[in-house]
Amino acid sequence: MPGPPGTSPLHVNIELTDHCNLRCRMCSQAMRSQAHGSPSGFMDWPTWRAALKGLEDMPGSVHLSPHWLGEPTSHPEFARMVEYAFAVNTGNHLFRHFKLHTNGLLLDKECATLLIRLNRQRCLAPDTFNTVHFSLDAWARRTYLNVKGVDACQRVEDNVLRFLETRHELGAHYPSVHLAFVVQQGNFGDLRPFVDGWGAVLKKLGQDWLLTCDWPPPDRDAIYIRRLNSGQQEQADAMHRRACCELGIAGTNPGPVPRAPESF
């Protein structure tokens, strides 16, 4: 339910799993054998149900995400868990919005159709499931392998394209799609092809989309040129500024690129 006027939404991450099927070079998954310092696992069904029930007591407007360091769609019961969450969220009393972060590797036709249709329940606001954030970070196959650690570029591109086409075929506006590219040394050469390639796809489907260097709004499709969180943050920020300037979305100001308050 919406919170009192003037209050900020409460962002809640409930991690279904800390397993991941990629080893992105900029992610902590690739930097240590155990994401949280303990053996990886999958949330069980009773825990998921209890976690959702616990949202009843949360103050204000809850924005729910079923991830943290793991790939949520790799959970063997991902579809069942998400369907259940929407089924028990009558009148949006548990969560107002739902956002999925995924690498897209396992997002087949069946899963895509399920996710898009979740918003069609009459007991929920039509923008409840408002965003899918795809962590892509590359355009070329070689770059994808270098950055993501797995030779799966074509499969992921096919899955994302199918998701966009399925949403179009179903006449759905939501969930919005954010196509993310974390700027780093290993993928800088893919920057322009990534923007041009996915921009052409969105244009062909008649989508109103935004090119941005900071967190995109939840109600629009976007290509998101994202900064790298790094132990060498100054250099990472400089590379991000350069990328944004080359794309014409941050001017030529040598200072910091503007960031939304919720950015990290």
Question: Residues 9-49: pLDDT tens digits?
Answer: 899 999 999 999 999 988 877 676 776 777 689 999 999 99
Q: Is 194 exposed, middle or buried (0-12, 13-18, 19+ CB in 10 A)?
A: buried
CATH fold of 10-246 reads TIM Barrel (3.20.20)
Cα(259)–Cα(181) distance, rounded to whole angstroms?
A: 16
Domain map of the chain by residue range?
10-246
The model's pTM is 0.91
Q: Hey, how many other C-beta atoms are within 10 angstroms of the C-beta on 91? A: 9
Structure tokens at 165: 């086409």
Q: How buried is 156 (Cβ within 10 angstroms: 0-12 exposed, 13-18 middle, 19+ buried)? A: buried
Q: What is the pLDDT of residues 82-115, one digit of tens each?
A: 999 999 999 999 999 999 999 999 999 999 999 9
157-211: per-residue pLDDT in tens? 999 999 999 999 999 999 999 999 999 999 999 999 999 999 999 999 999 999 9
